[in-house]
Amino acid sequence: MTTDTIAPDCVRVDIACNDPTTGTRTFQAMGLTIGRGDLLIELEATGRGLPIGISPGCLRIGRQAFAVRGEAHWVGSMAWDGFWMTVEEAARLLLWAHAKQWFAIQAAESTLFAMWKRTDRFAGDHLIEQLTIAGREQQGLA
């Protein structure tokens, strides 16, 4: 899939869901990354990973479904697949991941890192702004 088929309001969320030696899908989410020219946020599963399901237009992590606009296999390395979703849907995924505490933060843009560490609130305009910037940079629009 090429980025010219993805709407400018989308960002790619990369999920570690493939066997790192064979590249075959394991259907377990072990990590989640949203990149830009530099890293925006990187999360690691706190346990054995969460089950994922993939169908046209939908990514299911655990029991939560997220709308996707496109998919890319083996992004960065063969352990990762990328899923294009709207900025709002990516924010919803991050809010859900934060609330469930099934992912631990490994690295992030400094304000997002501080927001993630606060247990009372991970949301707001800064999250949407950073996801929008990341999506535009990923597509070469920034």
Task: Report the pLDDT value the prediction gives residue 2, as an integer from 0 to 100.
Answer: 42
Task: Report the pLDDT value the prediction gives residue 5, as an integer from 0 to 100.
Answer: 61
Convert the pLDDT of each residue in 1-20 to its tens digit.
444 467 788 999 999 999 88
Task: Report the pLDDT value the prediction gives residue 1, as an integer from 0 to 100.
Answer: 41
Task: Report the pLDDT value the prediction gives residue 141, as an integer from 0 to 100.
Answer: 81
Q: What is the 3-state secondary structure (H, E, C) of the chain?
A: CCHHHCCCCEEEEEEECECCCCCCECCEECEEEEECCCEEEEEEECCCCEEEEEECCEEEECCEEEECCEEEECCCCCCEEEEEEEHHHHHHHHHHHHHHCCEEEEEECHHHHHHHHCCCCCCCHHHHHHHHHHHHHHCCCC
| pTM of the complete model | 0.86
Task: Report the pLDDT value the prediction gives residue 3, as an integer from 0 to 100.
Answer: 44
Convert the pLDDT of each residue in 88-137 to its tens digit.
999 999 999 988 888 999 999 888 888 888 866 677 788 888 888 888 88
Convert the pLDDT of each residue in 11-56 to its tens digit.
999 999 998 889 888 999 999 999 866 778 999 999 888 999 999 8
